[in-house]
């Protein structure tokens, strides 16, 4: 498999088209939610114009809380859109700590220039994005949704208490 | 360092030939390499061009034989360096149709446009002496730009207007990427103080009608600033003949190194303008209270200048002059048409700017239905083709076109028809690769 094919795997291209969680409307994307346990973040990559507004909702699960869902509105390249789609699917039902660990691991993987192997247990489908790490110019594309999720999670946890 | 006269063949042929282009390629060491297992196809000269050996050698020779600070010191090397620096100015001034003292060195076109905007800004505040008052802007005054400007010819004017209270207006484009001249005639009024526009668009490839726009500005009494960043490298031109007041260009887009460019200004204007950067080498008398300034160009050249880069830019101007700008422009026009015609024939490709058959630079920016420009660029890179992707520093233009990003292939005198064809073949494979072929214009 060429480096290009390793980056644009079938799974990635399918996510780029299906875009799980891409159901936040343009109106919702421009207004900040004022609810406890909900966070929202807008991220823009000025280099290529890739853009995402991501909303994360927590719900109570016993004494803990878990991610009810990630919904987003965005436009960008196949890598940024697939990455947001995968994140949206992965995050559902995760505890804030688990999602935080996922984001941390994904960031390390992306910054590794291809030296780290992805942990499938933690990253699931996002492991398929490992090929992006060999293209430093594209790492920001893959990270866009994850950076937004990290901030949205911080807000959701802060207001959810 | 004097210009070599145009050869007889240059005068009789309107465009370079395939054979000449192959010979020209041998002068550019960087082109002779493989990228991802394929011969490099460099189609990003609109962003930055490559350097011929003569330019690289001129810069190296300067450092090996003549390096010293210029316009100070009386030792041998200082004299040699000053001569090389000023000879370079004469050569480049001659190349663009300016007098020697009408060419100010700057880092690039962006720095040149900021020099103008900040000089006008300085004329608008505090105690302005003498002729400088003619450049002062305030509420009620207007600056007119166009919808197709590079950010470098937009933001400095936005900021100038913000600082002075003047109003910024823009001439819109039509769907084929041409300026709407009837709108220009309506927008340029006696309130217009500055008309700043690009000679040729870095995205659309449109070549703007300078004479018509200058006539409108003259009738309104406005100063004309020409962004010649994409025209000086690719078209034969003469700033005096174009009758503009100011023009800017970048060396790195015309076979020279980065860090050098120029501002052309009519002599009486440059000498009346307040300085922008101040400090060493631009003064006559300095007291603890105030300073008197040298005439242009030194007036605008504070601090140690990019000397070897200026020398290298002169070598680049000589290379282009010897090749013949008419023939360079003729060759690139044919490559531009080959790009537009070929790209437009591919399913799902929308080329922005003038249609096939209409005059344009040797470049084409395009949208690939269903595939983001970043992914297009990545695919092309995997087969050794270098293009630019993104908004090309023209966000308002892309917004007008209903796009956030495009892919741009831009040629120069060293590109072959085979390279254009390799691009066309590769672009035709992009939508099938990303699995969107047949899905029409879905995005």
The C-alpha atoms of residue B431 and residue B158 are separated, in whole angstroms, by 39
Best A1, A10, A17, A77 member to test B by mutation, with max B CBs in 10 Å, is: A77
Binary contact (B389, A76; C-beta < 8 A): no
Give the sheet arrangement for strand A51-61, strand by strand.
Answer: A38-44, A51-61, A64-75
pLDDT tens profile B276-301 = 999 999 999 999 999 999 999 999 99
- How would you class B385 by CB atoms within 10 Å of its CB: exposed for 0-12, middle for 13-18, buried for 19 or more? buried
Judge whether residue A15 has pLDDT over 70: yes
> CA B103 to CA B105: how far, in whole Å?
7
Say what the ipTM of the complex is: 0.91
Known active-site residue B229? no
Residue B2 has pLDDT above 90, yes or no: no
Please calculate the CA angle B363-B338-B233 and round it to the nearest 5 degrees: 35
Question: What percentage of residues in chain B have a pLDDT greater than 70?
Answer: 96
Average pLDDT across chain A, whole number? 93
- Digit-coded pLDDT (tens) for B22-43: 999 999 999 999 999 999 999 9
Q: Which single residue is written with the structure tokens 């590794």?
A: A112
Residue A48 reports pLDDT greater than 80: no
pLDDT (0 to 100) of residue B13: 61
Bridge partners, B194 (sequence order): B143, B223
Domain B59-321 belongs in CATH node 3.40.50.150: no
pLDDT digits (tens, 9 = 90+) for B144-160: 999 999 999 999 999 99
Q: How far apart are CA A112 and CA A143, in angstroms?
A: 13
**Interval B47-75 mean pLDDT:** 95
Q: In 3-state terms, what secondary structure has residue B317?
A: helix
* Section B79-91 average pLDDT: 97
Cβ separation of B390 and A7 shorter than 8 Å? no
Q: CA angle at residue B320 from B315 to B325, to 5 degrees?
A: 155
| Contact across the interface for A78 and B391, Cβ inside 8 Å | no
Instruction: Kindly state the percentage of chain A with pLDDT values over 70.
Output: 99
Nearest CA distance, A138 vs chain B (angstrom): 9
Is residue B5 scored above 90 in pLDDT? no
Q: Which two tokens stand for residue B189?
A: 């009024």
Interface test with B, best of A1, A2, A3, A4 (most B CBs within 10 A): A4
Q: How many CB atoms lie within 10 A of CB B63?
A: 11
What's the mean per-residue pLDDT of chain B?
A: 95
Any B CB within 8 A of A44 CB: no
Give the model's pLDDT for residue B90: 98
Find the DSSP H helices in B177-227: 181-187, 210-220
Which residue ranges form the domains of chain A, and what is each CATH number?
3-160 (3.90.1010.10)
> Band of the pLDDT at B219, cuts 50, 70, 90?
very high
Average pLDDT (B255-278) is: 97
A135–B375 C-beta distance less than 8 A? no
The pLDDT value recorded for residue B439 is 52
Task: Give the residue numbers in B contacting A (CB under 8 Å), as ranges.
Answer: 371-375, 378-379, 382, 389-391, 395, 398, 404-405, 433-436
- Contacts of B159 by beta carbon, 8 Å cutoff, 6+ apart: B117
Residue B152 makes CB contacts below 8 A (sequence gap 6+) with B109, B110, B113, B227, B229, B393
User: Is the per-residue pLDDT at B177 higher than 90?
Assistant: yes
Q: What is the pLDDT of residue A1?
A: 78
Q: Where in chain B is the domain with CATH 3.90.1150.10?
A: 8-52+324-432
Q: How confident is the model at residue B4 (pLDDT cuts 50, 70, 90)?
A: very low
Active-site residue, selected from the candidate residues B117, B143, B393, B405: B393
- Calculate mean pLDDT across residues A138-161: 94
Interface contact flag, B373 A76, Cβ < 8 Å: no
Enter the pTM of the model. Answer: 0.93
Residue B7, SS3? Answer: coil
Check residues A152 and B7 and name the one with the higher pLDDT.
Answer: A152
Q: Can you give the pLDDT at residue B438? A: 66
Q: Phi/psi at B173 (nearest 5 deg)?
A: -110, 160
Q: Is the pLDDT of residue B131 over 90?
A: no
- pLDDT tens digits along A112-135: 998 999 988 899 999 999 999 999
pLDDT over 70 at A161, yes or no: no
**Which positions in chain A touch B374 (Cβ < 8 Å)?**
48, 50, 76-77, 79, 138, 141
Put simply, the answer to whether B378 touches A76 (Cβ < 8 Å) is no
Percent of chain B clearing pLDDT 90 (strictly above): 92
Distance CA B182, CA A159 (A): 56
Answer whether residue B440 shows pLDDT above 80.
no
To test the contact with chain A by mutation, choose from B372, B406, B432 the residue with the greatest count of A C-beta atoms within 10 A, namely B372
Please list the residue range(s) of chain B that carry CATH number 3.40.640.10.
Answer: 59-321
Report domain B8-52+324-432's class. alpha beta
Task: Place B111 in a pLDDT band, splitting at 50, 70 and 90.
Answer: very high
A1-10, B175-184, B247-256: range with lowest mean pLDDT: A1-10
Helix (H) or strand (E) holding B106: strand B103-106
Q: Using alpha carbons, list the distances in angstroms from residue B190 to B159, B266, B399.
A: 22, 21, 30
Percentage of chain A modeled with pLDDT above 90: 80
């Amino acid at each position: 498999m060429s480096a290009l094919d390793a980056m644009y795997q079938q799974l990635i291209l399918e996510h780029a088209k299906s875009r799980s969680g891409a159901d936040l409307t343009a109106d919702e994307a421009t207004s900040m939610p004022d609810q406890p346990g909900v966070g929202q973040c807008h991220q823009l990559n000025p280099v290529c114009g890739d853009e995402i507004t991501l909303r994360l909702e927590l719900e109570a699960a016993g004494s803990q809380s878990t991610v009810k869902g990630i919904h987003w509105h965005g436009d960008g390249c196949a890598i940024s859109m697939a990455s947001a789609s995968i994140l949206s699917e992965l995050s559902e039902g995760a505890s804030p700590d688990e999602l935080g660990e996922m984001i941390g691991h994904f960031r390390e993987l992306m910054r590794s220039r291809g030296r780290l192997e992805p942990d499938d247990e933690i990253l699931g489908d996002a492991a398929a994005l490992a090929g992006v790490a060999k293209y430093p110019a594209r790492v920001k594309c893959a990270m866009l949704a994850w950076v937004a999720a990290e901030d949205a999670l911080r807000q959701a946890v802060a207001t959810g208490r | 360092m004097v210009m070599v006269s145009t050869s007889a063949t240059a005068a009789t042929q309107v465009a370079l030939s395939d054979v000449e282009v192959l010979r020209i390629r041998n002068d550019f060491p960087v082109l002779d390499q493989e990228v991802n297992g394929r011969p490099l196809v460099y189609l990003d000269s609109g962003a930055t061009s490559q350097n011929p050996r003569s330019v690289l050698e001129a810069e190296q020779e300067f450092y090996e034989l003549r390096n010293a600070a210029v316009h100070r010191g009386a030792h041998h090397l200082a004299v040699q360096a000053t001569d090389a620096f000023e000879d370079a100015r004469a050569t480049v001034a001659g190349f663009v149709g300016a007098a020697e003292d009408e060419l100010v060195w700057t880092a690039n076109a962006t720095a040149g446009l900021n020099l103008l905007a900040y000089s006008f800004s300085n004329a608008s505040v505090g105690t302005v002496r003498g002729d400088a008052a003619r450049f002062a802007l305030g509420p009620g005054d207007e600056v007119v730009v166009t919808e197709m400007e590079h950010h470098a010819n937009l933001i400095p004017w936005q900021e100038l207007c913000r600082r002075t209270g003047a109003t910024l207006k823009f001439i819109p484009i039509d769907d084929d990427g041409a300026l709407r001249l009837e709108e220009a005639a309506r927008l340029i009024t006696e309130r217009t103080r500055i008309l700043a526009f690009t000679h040729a668009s870095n995205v659309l490839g449109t070549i703007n009608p300078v004479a018509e726009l200058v006539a409108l500005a003259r009738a309104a009494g406005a100063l004309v600033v020409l962004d010649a960043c994409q025209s000086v490298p690719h078209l034969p031109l003469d700033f005096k003949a174009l009758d503009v007041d100011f023009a800017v260009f970048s060396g790195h887009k015309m076979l020279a190194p980065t860090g050098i460019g120029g501002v052309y200004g009519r002599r009486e204007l440059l000498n009346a303008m307040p300085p922008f950067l101040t400090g060493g080498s631009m003064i006559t008398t300095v007291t603890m209270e105030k300073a008197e300034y040298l005439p242009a160009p030194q007036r605008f050249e504070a601090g140690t200048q990019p000397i070897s880069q200026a020398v290298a830019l002169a070598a680049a101007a000589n290379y282009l002059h010897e090749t013949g700008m008419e023939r360079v422009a003729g060759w690139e026009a044919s490559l531009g048409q080959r790009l537009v015609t070929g790209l437009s024939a591919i399913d799902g490709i929308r080329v922005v700017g003038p249609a096939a058959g209409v005059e344009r630079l040797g470049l084409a920016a395009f949208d690939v239905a269903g595939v983001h420009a970043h992914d297009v660029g990545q695919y092309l890179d995997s087969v050794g083709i270098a293009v630019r992707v993104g908004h090309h520093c023209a966000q308002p233009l892309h917004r007008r076109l209903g796009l956030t990003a495009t892919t741009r292939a831009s040629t120069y005198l060293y590109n072959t028809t085979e390279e254009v064809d390799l691009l066309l073949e590769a672009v035709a494979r992009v939508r099938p690769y990303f699995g969107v072929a047949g899905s029409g214009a879905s995005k």
